[in-house]
Amino acid sequence: QMFILSLSFVLLTSIVLLLVAWCKRTYTFWQRHNIPYVKPLPIIGTLKDVLTMKKNVGVHINEIYNDPVFAKEPVVGIYMLHQPALLIRDPELIKSMFVKNFQNFHDRYATVDVSVDPFGALNMFLCKYGTWNKMRPKFSPTFTSGKLKQTFPLMVKVAQNLEKFLVKKGNKFVLEVRELCGLYTTDQISTIAFGIQAHSFDNFNNTANMFSLQNQCNIKERPTYKIVVMLLLPRLAKLFRAELFTKKYQNFLRTSLNNIIEERKRSGVIRNDLIDTLIKLRQEAEGTIEESEKQTYDDTLLAQANVFYLAGYETSLSFLSYTLYLLAKHPKVQKRLREEIKCCLENENGHVTYESLQNIPYMDMVMQESLRLYPVVSFLEREHNCDDPVLGKFSLKPHHDFDLPGGMPIFVSTLGMHNDPKYWDNPEVFDPERFAPGKPIPSAYMPYGAGPHNCIGGRLAKLQSKLGFIHILKNFEMRSCSKTVEDLRVSSNTISLVCEDDIHLEFVKDVLWEQ
| Extents of the domains making up the chain | 1-33, 46-509
Nearest to 404 by CA among 390, 429, 384, 420: 384
Architecture of the domain made up of 46-509: Orthogonal Bundle (1.10)
Given this model, what pLDDT does residue 335 score? 97
CB atoms within 10 A of CB 110: 23
Nearest to 215 by CA among 184, 180, 250: 250
Nearest to 378 by CA among 292, 490, 232: 490
Given this model, what pLDDT does residue 291 score? 67
Given this model, what pLDDT does residue 205 score? 44
Rounded to an integer, what distance in angstroms lies between the CA atom of residue 147 and that of residue 459? Answer: 11
Given this model, what pLDDT does residue 292 score? 67
The residue ranges of DSSP E strands in 200-303, in sequence order, are none
Helix (H, G, I), strand (E, B) or coil at 339: helix
The separation between the first and the last C-alpha atoms of the chain, rounded to the nearest angstrom, is 98
Q: How far is CA 187 from the centre of its chain?
A: 19
Given this model, what pLDDT does residue 468 score? 96
Given this model, what pLDDT does residue 514 score? 79
Full-model pTM = 0.91
Helix (H, G, I), strand (E, B) or coil at 107: strand
Q: What are the DSSP calls for 120-183, one per residue?
A: HHHSTTT--HHHHHHHHHHHGGGGSHHHHHHHHHHHHHHHHHHHHHHHTT-SEEEEEHHHHHHH
Positive or negative, the Cα torsion across 35, 36, 42, 46? negative
Tell me: is residue 455 an annotated ligand-binding position: yes
Given this model, what pLDDT does residue 209 score? 62
The residue ranges of the chain whose pLDDT is under 70 are 203-209, 211-212, 291-292
Angle separating helix axes 294-329 and 247-267, nearest 10 degrees: 100
Given this model, what pLDDT does residue 25 score? 87
